Amino acid sequence: MNMKVIVIGSGFSGLAAATSLADKGYDVTVLEKNSVAGGRARVFHTEGFTFDMGPSWYWMPDIFENYFAAFGKKPSDYYDLVRLDPSYAVILANNETINLPASIDKLGDLFESMEAGSKAKFQEFLRQAEYKYDVGINQFVWKPSTSITEFLSLKLLYDVVRLDVFQSFSSHIRKFFKDEKILKLMEFPILFLGATPENTPAMYSLMNYAEMKLGTWYPMGGMFKIIEGMVALAKEKGVKILLEQNVTKIEIDKGEAKKVITDKGEFQAEVVVASADYHHVEDKLLGDKYRNYDEAYWNKRVMAPSSLLFYLGINKRIPKLLHHNLFFDEDFKVHAHEIYTEPQWPSKPLFYASAPSKTDASIAPEGCENVFLLIPVAPDLEDSEEIREKYYHIIMERLEKYCGVSIRDAVVFKRSYAHSDFKADYNAFKGNAYGLANTLMQTALLKPTLKSKKVKNLYYTGQLTVPGPGVPPSLISGMVVANEVNKEFRKP
């Protein structure tokens, strides 16, 4: 008999862990509380529209290639990718728009037009960022970070210095550029990491390399096509995925997880991999005796922002929008202060508008637009219908002005989503959207560990443990945890 592994949750990390373990010969069952797999990357269909509920940026295509290649497959076995060009639009004060070309050479020319000499500096910046990407993505993120010894090699210590771990992204970037617009463009990808450029290690310029050099892509049919591909692959490997199984308890006996209990039944386990939000697993499924970290620890973590989202079906086309549009038309520092320093609903929010129907006709009825709006907001805020409506109108006012057309009167479907939904749907700590912020003090060994310190066959994976939030890191997290399980439990 193969060892029985129960994976809790079917997001990127859970599916990656389950597939990797099944591939290594384990008998794997995934228990998912929702009726659709995919976690934060779920999808819903209504009135001819297909809405991806979470991720919309497909970056680091190499990680997806490597993932499928680990099982002898290619992304193209499951979905078709297209590269976006322009990659995205950034809207600055007074609706000044910069469309970022996919070509690095043209991007360099764009920078040169804003600041003399910046094309050459951009090339040097990218050269250093490529090194960081190579070391960061090909080495560091694969470390389980369960022991300091993993980092004690001369080569790695040398790399740490070259990675500029102890310098902030903000000061790093200012060594290359002075122009305010260029600085804004370069700082944008850092926002994905959930902290300000001042609090993010310069190592994360690897994000600029990923975004600018490796490109912004889109899987035709929507981001959920990746999940569909991963689910198909998991099933090919023999993984059983059981939906609508809300896990209520991990039963432990003599320091070992024995059973996973759901609202529908009980599942024997020889190993448990929890990919649901780490805090929820500790707080609700384990109880005080077996948790790694107490409430005080969790309350001190710097969370990445949560989000107020709107999914809109619009019965006309909006010519001005690109696939990805970032509204940086208000002061980022004020918005960041209202997320991190004095958490509150933002006074003048920046926001992101995505119109994937620009690239993909299959996700909206003919002549219509599929629009997704995202406002980053502090976690743990009170959200109500009234607040959501207020922000809807603030954002739509700006969007309509920018696009030069009325939009609200053409909205045929509208759904909002915020903190209380993240809590209800994913058991998200403080209603977080993207887990922990990638600050220096929450990197590698300083993140919640992927192995239980008290239950010998319990592991954690996903965006609240190593290597961190985002689709590619969550995928990697699942593969890393599978390797750790296999190191410990592989039968001779």
Ligand X SMILES: Cc1cc2nc3c(=O)[nH]c(=O)nc-3n(C[C@H](O)[C@H](O)[C@H](O)COP(=O)(O)OP(=O)(O)OC[C@H]3O[C@@H](n4cnc5c(N)ncnc54)[C@H](O)[C@@H]3O)c2cc1C
Q: Which residues bind ligand X (CB under 6 A)?
A: 8-14, 31-34, 39-41, 54-57, 246-247, 275-276, 280, 307, 309, 374, 426-427, 433-434, 462-463, 469-471, 474
Spatial neighbors of 242 by CB under 8 A, at least 6 apart, are 29, 30, 31, 32
Q: Which is nearer to ligand X, 14 or 197 (CB)?
A: 14
- Among residues 225, 231, 237, 224, the alpha carbon closest in space to that of 76 is found at 225
**Bridge partner list, 149:** none
Least distance in angstroms from the C-beta of 326 to ligand X: 12
Q: Which is nearer to ligand X, 196 or 463 (CB)?
A: 463
Q: Which is nearer to ligand X, 34 or 95 (CB)?
A: 34
Least distance in angstroms from the C-beta of 477 to ligand X: 7
CA 71 to chain centre: 23
Q: Which amino acid is at 285?
A: L
Q: Which is nearer to ligand X, 110 or 191 (CB)?
A: 191
Q: Output the six-digit token pair for 364.
A: 């909206």
Q: Which amino acid is at 356?
A: P
Spatial neighbors of 106 by CB under 8 A, at least 6 apart, are none
- Give the pairing of strands 43-46 and 411-417: unpaired
- Omega cis (within 30) before 379: no
Q: Which is nearer to ligand X, 16 or 110 (CB)?
A: 16
**Bridge partner list, 325:** 89, 353
Angle at 59 between CA 432 and CA 364, to 5 degrees: 80
Least distance in angstroms from the C-beta of 117 to ligand X: 33
Burial class (CB in 10 A: 0-12, 13-18, 19+), 487: exposed
CB 347 within 8 A of CB 383: no
Q: Which is nearer to ligand X, 76 or 246 (CB)?
A: 246
Q: Which is nearer to ligand X, 197 or 462 (CB)?
A: 462
Least distance in angstroms from the C-beta of 36 to ligand X: 9
Q: Which is nearer to ligand X, 11 or 136 (CB)?
A: 11
CB 478 within 8 A of CB 447: no
Q: Which is nearer to ligand X, 226 or 336 (CB)?
A: 226
Least distance in angstroms from the C-beta of 74 to ligand X: 20
Q: Which is nearer to ligand X, 121 or 280 (CB)?
A: 280
Q: Which is nearer to ligand X, 108 or 472 (CB)?
A: 472
Least distance in angstroms from the C-beta of 247 to ligand X: 3
DSSP state of 304: P
For residue 27, the surrounding DSSP H or E stretch is strand 27-31
Least distance in angstroms from the C-beta of 69 to ligand X: 19
Strands, E assignment, 338-410: 351-354, 369-377
Q: Is 276 left (phi over 0), alpha (psi -120 to 50) or beta?
A: beta
**Sign of CA pseudo-dihedral 165, 13, 87, 309:** negative
Spatial neighbors of 444 by CB under 8 A, at least 6 apart, are 140, 143, 145, 151, 466, 467
Q: Which is nearer to ligand X, 53 or 110 (CB)?
A: 53
Least distance in angstroms from the C-beta of 435 to ligand X: 6
Q: Output the six-digit token pair for 135.
A: 């070391």
Least distance in angstroms from the C-beta of 126 to ligand X: 21
Least distance in angstroms from the C-beta of 468 to ligand X: 8
- Give the pairing of strands 49-52 and 43-46: antiparallel
User: Can you tell me the distance from the alpha carbon of 237 to that of 235, in angstroms, rounded to the nearest whole number?
Assistant: 5
Q: Output the six-digit token pair for 369.
A: 């637009």
**Bridge partner list, 151:** none
Least distance in angstroms from the C-beta of 136 to ligand X: 15
- Give the pairing of strands 256-262 and 247-253: antiparallel
Least distance in angstroms from the C-beta of 393 to ligand X: 21
The backbone torsions φ and ψ at residue 356, rounded to the nearest 5 degrees and listed phi first, read: -60, -20
